[in-house]
Structure 1
């Protein structure tokens, strides 16, 4: 660090206060015009730096039991996106999941935001919160964070350099995110083109005509640290099975639990709600248990190819039918008896189904490869930001 820089504790460059929550909060929420802004973690979704508005308001009485923040104040999350700083562009009130930081006059606010966003500070936050099950630290600990502070002219110079560098990186991120979206949409477009207007010679029937339903919805077995793999709706994504979260049950309960039917590798897994209509295939021959909002679809192998069924259920025409038959205002779901009646269509010749699958598998593989590359590029760009910030606050920017 350059000799003209100094180290100062956070509470020496700003006033630190923790938010406060009126409880129970539901009694203080209001839609009345007299309400005041109630700032929640959810208001930061897709927000990088500035908070301009809030989704909810609280009453004046609720505000008296909370902490006021004004335009220009910094707020720092103490939960969820832990340690992430935001600059207020409106006023309002914060709950105890936030800290408010009010700067002294000798700190450039844009410099301060970059500093709080840097590894120099985030590493200290993580150390202060180490050992906690849920990362959450007190205002006394936050105040002890040590900051490298250069003179004001140097702060301004650093901001100018970072603004220019981050603008270029942000444009690269936006372009990469668009490419990532296009890679998925390209596959979706091809998938839908296969099923949106099927040939007249394809057979049509109800889903349960050639598909066995093995329904393991209902209560969940007791989980343990290690044992037999448990697959729930949380593992079933659109087109693939995700390992996380990894959950396990006692293997000794397998025979008594799996009495409704034994799945085969390649069988189609369908989520009936939260979320509705995620579809994947079982990817292992090993014994696994199922629970929570999953129906296993086991097609008659003489009539329907397993993977063909997966792709068919992923296509927009069939998903539209499923959602049209779904119920529930808040959480959309479908009853098994309605799912069984969904009309499907397919070429009766299994070899034609397998040819369709082969083409779709190839498109899927190419799409996943592209998406993997773009996701890695996004990771690299975000890491580049952190690397630049590290250099900036080590006094290494030239």
Structure 2
């Protein structure tokens, strides 16, 4: 550490203030003149500063709860659900019990404290405890050490970080917009295929295509008592495919769960084979992929449906997969899953009522070739901008490390 810096516990140089929530059922406690913030609201913000909150409390609300007003330019830290959101209030403000307010002494610049806490979010999470969710206690927070130089030096460091972070924020916004544009380019081509259809397209339900022998009846994994559980997972074996394993149009058989060949062979259904088109139908609905495997089969969970083409003179599997991606089909499965349950689900019976729209096989091939040409370029651009975003995040971490090791 550079000369002139000192290290103290946060509790020695800040007042740490707990929050509280007035009883929500008492109208007289809410809608008053006092700003009141929660971790959820903090997580929605892009700016470090906040002057107005979504909810406010009255004098009576403050008097009848443990909430306390923080003076302007305190640093507010979410201490649970999750630990680590940070804001600086520019007006007097109270918090709920999921926050800690840090009121810096005259030894600390509020923005220096804000940046310091930003740099140790991982440490603060490590200090949290709790079975249901982790919470950082006021006592633990007060014990955390903070190294700091004189106020003029703190102000100099803050100016450097402000300028650098403004530049990083601009670069990040540009990269995010470019990433969005790259995805939108492919998306616009995809949607135009299925909204600007020419003559000769046919519309049939999945059930009709099954009855006509174009598709095998869609199937998913094993339900009930024979469904493999966590205790059945093995280090290797037969891939056991969940919705989360459908990635970028393929099936991630490297990071998925596995079950033994013996168990898989004993199961009744769920055997997906090379060329099958998969779609997730439970929880995260609408992800799609094409199976590409040299094995006899991979095993599906009840989260994933397989569509197998029986008459290859009528449908191409790559066309089906692109159709699954279209907003038209996605809306069908969203509507089909909207039954009021807490978790989205569209079972096999409902899927038989979904409609396919498709042209001749030759036209399907042309559509697939056109979209296939766009995929590599879209993926290249996505990868480029995602790498830029990762580099910007690393630059922020590096600058914070330099700042608080006295290297700026």
TM-score range, shorter chain: 0.7 to 0.9
The structure-2 alpha-carbon separation of the partners of 1:353 and 1:45, relative to structure 1 and needing over 3 Å to count, comes to same
Shift of 1:383: 0.9
Moved more, 143-152 or 186-195: 143-152
Residue aligning to 2:353? 341
Contact kept, 8 Å, 1:51 with 1:88, in 2: the verdict is: yes
Cα distance in 2, alignment partners of residues 243 and 381 from structure 1: 31
What residue number does 2:43 align with?
Answer: 45
Q: Does 1:376 align with 2:383?
A: no
The 3 A distance-change label for structure 1 pair 283 and 64 is farther
Equivalence for 2:11:
11
What corresponds to 2:234 in structure 1? 226
* 2:194 corresponds to: 195
Q: Is the 8 A contact 1:78 1:98 kept in 2?
A: yes
Aligned CA distance change for structure 1 residues 88 and 215 (closer, same or farther; 3 Å): same
Deviation at 1:177, TM superposition (A): 0.2
Report the CA distance shift for 1:320/1:177 in structure 2 as closer, same or farther (over 3 A).
same
In structure 2, what is the Cα distance between the partners aligned to 1:375 and 1:35? 43
**Map of 2:141 onto structure 1:** 142
Superimposed CA distance per residue, residues 300-339 of structure 1 (whole angstroms, 9 cap, x where no aligned partner): 2512211210101111222233334442346554343332
Asked if structure 2 preserves the Cα contact closer than 8 Å seen for 1:214 and 1:297, the reply is: yes
Output the TM-score relative to the length of structure 2. 0.81
CA distance in 1, matches of 2:298, 2:339: 30
Greater mean deviation of Cα atoms: 28-37 or 224-233: 28-37
Task: After superposition, give the CA deviation of every residue in 1:141-173 in whole Å (9 maximum; x if it has no partner).
Answer: 322222121111111111112111111111010
Contact 2:36–2:94 (Cα < 8 Å) also in 1: yes
Q: C-alpha distance in 1, partners of 2:18/2:278?
A: 46
Work out whether 1:304 is the aligned partner of 2:315: yes
Q: Where does residue 257 of structure 2 map in the other structure?
A: 247
**Number of residue-to-residue matches in the alignment:** 387
The list of structure 1 runs, each at least 4 consecutive aligned residues, that deviate by more than 6 angstroms after superposition, is: 56-63, 130-134
Distance 1:160 1:244, change over 3 A: farther
Whole-Å separation in 2 of the counterparts to 1:316 and 1:202: 17
- Give the secondary-structure state (helix, strand or coil) at the position aligned to 2:68: strand
What CA distance in whole angstroms lies between the structure 1 residues aligned with 2:251 and 2:55?
36
Instruction: Pick closer, same or farther for the CA change 1:389–1:243 going to 2, 3 Å.
Output: farther
Gaps of 5+ in 1: 23-27
The 10-residue stretch of structure 1 (365-374 or 143-152) with the greater mean CA deviation from structure 2: 143-152
Matched, 1:267 2:272: no
Choose 359-368 or 371-380, whichever is displaced more: 359-368
Decide whether the 8 Å contact of 2:80 with 2:135 is kept in 1.
yes
Cα pair distance change 1:127/1:33, threshold 3 Å: closer
Aligned equivalents of 2:51 and 2:113: distance in 1? 19
CA contact (8 A) 1:30 1:57 kept: no
